[in-house]
Amino acid sequence: MPLKKLEKLTQAANTYKTILNAMEEWVVIVDHQAKIFFINRPYARFLGVKAEDVMGKKVTDVIENTRMHITVQTGQAERLSFQKILGSNMIANRFPIIEQGEVIGAVGTVIFHDTHEWKQINSHIKALLAEHDFHRQKSLTADKVETGANFHLNDIIGDSQVMKSLSSKVTQVASGDVTVLIRGESGTGKELYAHAIHQLSDRAEFPFIKVNCAAIPENLLESELFGYEEGAFTGAKKGGKAGKFQLANGGTLFLDEIGDLPLLMQAKLLRVLQDREVESVGGTRSTPLNIRLITATHRPLESLIESGDFREDLYYRINVVAIDLPPLRERRDDIAKLADFFLQKLSRRTGRRAPKLTVQALTAMLAYNWPGNIRELENVMEAAFYTSHDRKIPLSLLPPQLAQNGTSIQENAIQPNLAQPNASSLKEQLNQVERNIIKTVLIECGDNRTKVAKQLGISKSTLYEKLDKHGIS
């Protein structure tokens, strides 16, 4: 090893020697030959040696089951590695010391002195997080009546123009008592908007009851929705059971996936909505209803009407005000913010610092069409969060179909020079990438705007907004 590099290692060790000796963690530093260069007093005390006596000795001769020499050879860090020393199972970290691209040594730390200590600390951290979450939730709900609605309009992430318009419409609609049909592809957040409408309405302090029409077996739907009297059928609970309509009285009933409701139940639902009263299965008396109805579907109800699978009269009853949620591919400006939201959410849940997306990864995400919408984005971010290292999410950690799609479009686009020292802001870079992608696709489609919109997976109106935004004629 060059003398200059040895001097640098010596200077660094001397600078921090007092601190390293004061630490409870055990620390050892080796040189490029895996010989002990420094070992702090707590570690030497445990090994039963004097620190000055083991200086210059091979680390393999001093520390049992060590892998420090391997770290020097490979230059690869090893995190949270089990190591048995003097009969105790310990957890250690090992990191190479690199100077100008050359490994000049390595540093190792024993962060938990036995697995019991690790389990104790792990339980302690979990208890602290649980206590924090409890007090936070308690402070948030101290003056709030528990109704079943958990999300507010502010919980919906998005700064794009389409989302701002949508929020404005929801605010206007929520204040009335009008029946609302929320439409959108799977994963666009239809349930969140149902919660938000209830929270903004005059019924906010009354129950919010949700039913997934696709998740309940057909033979149980009637009793689940309308309730039943004691003895109404074999297996009926003693005293009967209130249905979702009765439970929602005074508040809001949210029927999700109403397009999957069987025809027989559609007829019964229509009757309840027309008469504003409900009769339990096996009952003889009707109960007056005072509810607001919100429904949602990802299915094309008009096509279902044509095929005879959905009643036209029920369609007009529930489709008083329609709220159409855009797919994620039509609100790409929100992808970066949504991704960061999910990463921060995971960070709060786990106590681990949230990693950051590289520009290449985010560019690929902007180019992807997201058939699973926000739910797919959340799943991708969760996978990347748990597999990321060094607090970065590179392109390689994204699913193959997403990364390949993004790479394909990027290769055809005129790329901004991200390596310039005076590079513009991330938002400006992403705008430039989007502009280049649109220009490339325009050329490929012979300036056919309909084909361009189809290839990009956006509506023509969204395409024209983006052309105007980027000054593309």
What is the pLDDT confidence band of residue 293, given thresholds at 50, 70 and 90?
very high
What are the residues whose beta carbons fall under 8 Å from the beta carbon of 86, sequence distance 6 or more?
Answer: 46, 47, 64
pLDDT at 221 over 90: no
Pick the CATH number of 153-326 from 3.40.50.300, 1.10.260.40, 3.40.50.1820, 3.40.30.10: 3.40.50.300
Half-sphere exposure of 177 (CA within 13 A, CB side): 7
pLDDT at 459 over 70: yes
Q: Say how far apart CA 95 and CA 282 lie, in whole Å.
A: 72
Q: Say how far apart CA 138 and CA 92 lie, in whole Å.
A: 38
Q: Average model confidence (pLDDT) for the chain?
A: 82
Q: Do domains 153-326 and 330-470 have the same CATH topology?
A: no
What is the pLDDT confidence band of residue 235, given thresholds at 50, 70 and 90?
low
What are the residues whose beta carbons fall under 8 Å from the beta carbon of 367, sequence distance 6 or more?
Answer: 405, 406, 409, 410, 437
> Hey, what CATH class is 330-470 in?
mainly alpha
pLDDT at 253 over 80: yes
What is the pLDDT confidence band of residue 210, given thresholds at 50, 70 and 90?
very high
Q: Say how far apart CA 99 and CA 103 lie, in whole Å.
A: 6
**pLDDT for residue 159:** 82
pLDDT at 347 over 60: yes
Q: Which of 7-11, 241-245, 391-395 has the lowest mean pLDDT?
A: 7-11
**pLDDT for residue 409:** 47
Share of the chain above pLDDT 70, in %: 80
What are the residues whose beta carbons fall under 8 Å from the beta carbon of 128, sequence distance 6 or more?
Answer: none
**pLDDT for residue 440:** 63
Q: Contact, 323 vs 167, CB < 8 A?
A: no
Domains of the chain by residue range: 3-112, 153-326, 330-470
CATH of domain 3-112: 3.30.450.20
User: Which is it for strands 277-279 and 102-112: parallel, antiparallel or unpaired?
Assistant: unpaired
